[in-house]
Amino acid sequence: MTDLAGKHIVLGLSGGIACYKAAELCRAMVKAGATVQVAMTEAAEHFITPVTLQALSNRPVYGSQWDPREPNNMPHINLSREADAILVAPCSADFMAKLLHGRADDLLSLMCLARPMDRVPLLLAPAMNREMWAHPATQRNVVQLRADGATVLGVGRGDQACGETGDGRMLEADELLEDLVAFFQPKRLAGRRVLVTAGPTYEAIDPVRGITNRSSGKMGFAIARAAREAGAEVTLVAGPVHLPTPRGVVRVDVASAADMLQAVLAEAERADVLVATAAVADWRPASAAEHKIKKDGSGVPPAIEFAETTDILATVAASARAAAGRLFCVGFAAESQDLVHNAQVKRQRKGVPLLVGNIGPATFGRDDNALLLVDAHGTRELPTADKLTLARLLIAEIAQRTRA
C-alpha cells in the first residue's frame, strides 16, 4: 500500500497508556509509504521507550527542545517545517488543554504552536478516561481546537485500562491510518450526499436455503470509502457480506432485493449521487416455503415458481429527482461475456447517464478489478488495479460529471 507515499508525518506522543498503539500506527504509516518523525513528551516516555519508536520509524526520536543534534538548537522549527502534517496520537486531555491555551513548554507543544498553519495541518487523536472525555471542559476544548483549525479525530468506545467502559479510547491504528489517508484525499464531493449499494442479495427458498450470487461487496465498499474520502456524506446499503464498514460511512444492512429496494428508495430522497454496485437478484422464488423442503427419495426436484424482482436502479433513475437532475445515477453491470455490447444495452435499458461494466467471474471476491465506463458517447477503460484505486478514479469521474 502506498497511500501515503511522499508524505512526511510528525507523529507526536503525549502521555497515556494508548502510547502502545502508537507503535503499530508508526509501523502502519511507514508501510503505507510515509516517512515518520517521532516526537515524544516526557510523560509519553513513561509508557513506551524512544528505542521502540526509533526502530519502527528508522529515524532518531526527539523529546527535548534542547536537543543538541540540531545545529541551530531549534528542533521545534526544523522538524515542523519538514512535515506534511503533525499527528498527535495519543493526545491526552492535558495536552489538548495545553494546545488550546497556546502553551509551549516542551518540544511537541512548541512544534504544534510553531508550525506554519497554512501548510502543516494538525491532527489530534484523543485518548483518555471516559469521564475525562465527557467532562464539559474537554468538550469545550474540542470545539475550540477545531475552531482554531485543528482536526480532532473521533474516539473509540470500549474497555479502558482503568477497568471502566465507555468513550475516550484512542482509535485503533488501522482506523487512524484510514482517517489520515482520507485527510489527504481531494475533497471533490464535499457537501454532497452519496448513496452506494453493495454485495449480493439473498432470496429465500425456505427457512434454510436461498438463492444468491458470488458478489463479495468489495467494490461497493471501496466506492463508499472513496466517496467519504472525497468529503461526501455516505450511506452504504449492503447485502449479506462480511466486510468492515468504512470509516465515517453509515451502513444499512439488508438481505433480499425487496429489502434493498425499500432501503434505497428511502435514502434516495436525500441523495445527490447513487452508485448501484450491488449484484441484485433478477429473480426470486415467488413464495418461500414455511418449512425446510426435504428430499422425498423420488429423485424429482421440487417445483419452484419464480417472480421477477423490481429493478432498483431503473426505478430510482425514473424518479422525479433523477429526471430533474438532482440525483445522478451510476449503474454497474457484471457480465460474463460481450462486456461492451451488454453494458451499452443495459445502460440504455436502465436509463442512467453512466454505467460501469466488468467481467463478474474475473473479479468476484478478488481485491483487484478492471472497469469499463459506458455513457452516451462511448466507452473508456480503467485498467486493472486494486479496487480502492479504481473507486477513487470513479469518484473523481462522478465529481467531474456532476460539478455543475
Quick check: 213 and 281 in contact, CB under 8 A?
yes
**Residue 75: closest CA among 119, 41, 108:** 108
- At 319-339, the pLDDT tens digits run 999 999 999 999 998 877 888
User: Amino acid letter at 403?
Assistant: R
For residues 205 and 341, which has the higher predicted lDDT (pLDDT)? 205
**What fold, for 193-401?**
Rossmann fold (3.40.50)
Q: Which of 91, 112, 162, 329 is catalytic?
A: 162
**What is the chain's mean pLDDT, rounded?**
95
Quick: pLDDT tens for 231-290. Answer: 999 999 999 999 999 999 999 999 999 999 999 999 999 999 999 999 999 999 999 999
DSSP reduced 3-state for 88 = strand
What whole-number distance in Å separates Cα of residue 169 and Cα of residue 252?
25
Using the predicted structure, report yes or no on whether residue 404 has a pLDDT greater than 70. no
- 162 classed as catalytic: yes
Q: Which residue has the cell 485498467?
A: 383
Place of cell 493526545: 91
Residues of the chain with CATH 3.40.50.10300: 193-401
H and E: helices and strands count for the chain: 15, 19
Class of domain 8-184: alpha beta
Rounded distance, CA 198 to CA 278, Å? 4
* 302 within 8 A of 284, measured Cβ to Cβ: no
Identify the pLDDT of residue 337.
Answer: 83
Q: Name, in order, each residue with C-beta under 8 angstroms of 262's C-beta and a sequence gap of 6 or more.
A: 254
Where in the sequence of the chain do the CATH 3.40.50.1950 domains occur? 8-184
DSSP 326: S
pLDDT band at 68 (very low <50, low <70, confident <90, very high): confident
> Do residues 153 and 171 lie in contact, with contact meaning Cβ atoms separated by under 8 Å?
yes
Work out whether strand 354-359 and strand 156-159 pair parallel, antiparallel, or are unpaired.
Answer: unpaired
- Report the C-alpha gap between 375 and 358 in whole angstroms: 14
Q: Percentage of the chain surpassing pLDDT 70?
A: 100
Q: Mind listing the pLDDT tens digit for each residue in 169-228?
A: 999 999 999 999 999 999 999 999 999 999 999 999 999 999 999 999 999 999 999 999
Confidence band, pLDDT 50/70/90 cuts, at residue 149:
very high
Cα dist from 124 to 87, 93, 135, 153, 233, whole Å: 6, 11, 18, 6, 22
Q: Average of pLDDT values for 76-81?
A: 91
pLDDT exceeds 90 at position 12: yes
pLDDT surpassing 90 at residue 70 = no
**Model pLDDT for residues 99-118, shown as the tens digit of each residue:** 999 999 999 999 999 999 99
